[in-house]
Chains A and B, each alone.
Chain A
Amino acid sequence: MAASVALRLDSRMTGLASPVAFPDAVREHQDEVFGVALRITGDRDAALDVTSSTFLNAFRAFHRYDSSRPVRHWLLRIATNEAITYVRKRGRELRRTVEVEHAIALADANATPDAESVAREDRARIRAAVSQLPELYRVVIVLRYFNELSVDEIANVTGRPASTVGVQLLRGRALLRGALEGER
Chain B
Amino acid sequence: MRSDRRDEELFDEIRLRRALRLDAAELPPRIDIAAIAARARDDRPAFAAASLVSTLVAGIAAAGLVSLIAIALPAVAPALASDLFASALETLARVAIPASAFLSLAEQPTVPVAALAALAVAIVHEYAQRREHAREVTS
Contact = CB atoms under 8 A, between A and B. Distances in A.
Interface of A: 2-3, 5-6, 9-10, 13, 22-23, 26, 30-31, 34-35, 38-39, 44, 47-48, 51-52, 55-56, 59-60, 122-123, 126-127, 130, 141-142, 145-146, 148, 173, 176-177
A1 to B, nearest CB: 8
Interface in B78-103: none
Interface stretch (B19-27, B68-76, B105-113): B19-27
Contacts of A38: 22, 26
A68 B21 CA distance: 29
Contacts of B33: 2-3, 6, 10, 22-23, 26, 55
B31 to A, nearest CB: 5
B123 interface: no
A127 B28 CA distance: 18
Interface string B49-60: 000000000000
7 contacts: A30-B31, A35-B22, A47-B28, A56-B39, A56-B40, A59-B40, A177-B12
Chain B binding surface, main DSSP class: helix
Contact of B19 (A2, A31, A59, A122): A122
B18 interface: yes
A23 B111 CA distance: 95
A130 B15 CA distance: 12
A123 B19 contact: yes
Contacts of B21: 146
Given A38-B22, A142-B20, A146-B20, A6 B15 contact: no
B46 to A, nearest CB: 13
A144 B19 CA distance: 13
Nearest to B44: A60
Interface residues of B, number: 25
B12 A173 contact: yes
Nearest to A8: B37
A126 B18 CA distance: 10
B31 A51 contact: yes
Contact of A145 (B16, B37, B40): B16
Given A31-B22, A176-B12, 14 more contacts: A2-B32, A3-B33, A5-B34, A9-B41, A23-B33, A26-B33, A30-B28, A34-B27, A51-B28, A59-B36, A59-B40, A146-B17, A148-B17, A173-B16
B17 A56 contact: no
B36 A55 contact: yes
A55 B33 CA distance: 9
Contacts of A26: 31, 33, 36
Nearest to B30: A30
Contacts of A9: 34, 37, 41
A145 B28 contact: no
Given A38-B26, A122-B15, A127 B20 contact: yes
Contacts of A56: 36, 39-40, 43
